Chains A and B, each alone.
Chain A
């Protein structure tokens, strides 16, 4: 149990620190690598929450799929000039203050609702049937959203191909 807490705080600190570095770095490739670190730390948090299937999905799909796509595009469009330009826009102070105000609002909302949070209901020490339970929910109760998601992916694939083509 103590090990659980230590691992959680380790992954949380890793995620937050590399997220801050991702947002502030000048070089886009460095930002992408820090985002990969954040996503892997989040995958560790999923593992601590006994969501093993989501952990694998996070590693394979996010880190192995989406981030490789990002790095490909960065290499296609990377400009050396962009390293010399201003990295933050003109409204950065107002925008930063507004974002912090939004964060403070959510902070207050969590503080007010904190009493209604309760410890997990029935937690086995290990959950060997997580993938099975996810599949039951996905192909049973959530069948229609699942099919709609597949149509969304088809549309996104066609859209990406059309956008990246030289002449339509």
Chain B
């Protein structure tokens, strides 16, 4: 039986990699994919604790997190498409049209 803290370490590693991806990459699609990675790390935590307490509440929360991830991906990719049509770029540091 794998102890619960092993799952927490795995989740921590994925979360940190995701945060590094969000903060350092320039490509917006990679940033969105890193956000998916962060949400996935949260799901591992939720399911591990659900297993530890022997109840399914954590799994229900993980389903809600997946729903949020789907909604976020759909809207985010729509925004990327709309922006790409106007500016022909995918780089986050060139998205400065609101900057005075």
- Which A residues contact B (CB, under 8 angstroms)? 1, 4-5, 8, 12, 15-16, 19-20, 22-23, 28, 31-32, 35, 38-39, 42, 45-46, 48-51, 53-54, 57-58, 61-62, 65-66, 69-70, 73-74, 76-77, 79, 82, 85-92, 95-96, 98-100, 102-103, 106-107, 110, 114, 117-123, 130, 133-134, 136-138, 142, 145, 149, 152-153, 155-157, 159-164, 166
Contact = CB atoms under 8 A, between A and B. Distances in A.
A23 B34 contact: yes
A163 B2 contact: no
Contacts of B97: none
B52 A57 contact: no
Interface residues of B, number: 72
**Most-contacted residue by chain A among B26, B64, B78 (CB, 10 A):** B78
B21 to A, nearest CB: 4
Contacts of B44: 42, 45-46
Contacts of B6: 8, 12
